[in-house]
Amino acid sequence: MSHISVMKIAFADRNLLWQALADLGYEIEEGDDLKITDGTKSVRVDFLVKVPYTESIGFRKGKNGWHLTADWFRVNLDRKTFENRLKQQYAYRSVMKSFVSQGFLVTEEARDEKQQIHLVLRRTQF
């Protein structure tokens, strides 16, 4: 029985995904023959995220973007926490990219105890 699962959400922009992973402190490994295995089944991935003291998490290109692939029985992280933190950081990077392209400047940024991000912006161009 395979334990490998693929996250339903797809990250559209590879560069934003890499930035979000780096923001969260993860090291990324690229290569030609990278796989996620559960002992009986292997799934090819385009890059791996190194998780200290446990198995890596993979990402592979799908038709709708980059999909997270992992054997969560062998990864020593809480799946939901990892996914939520990654989705939040990816969205943060995406929104910041959009704000900058529209001429906004972040004047204040804070995270509260629930890890919600609060931004104050100012328009620098008209």
pTM greater than 0.85 (yes/no): yes
Q: Tokens 């923001």 map to which residue?
A: 23
The pLDDT tens digits for 27-62 are: 999 988 999 988 788 999 999 999 999 999 999 998
Would you say the C-alpha torsion 80, 81, 83, 89 has a positive or negative sign?
A: positive
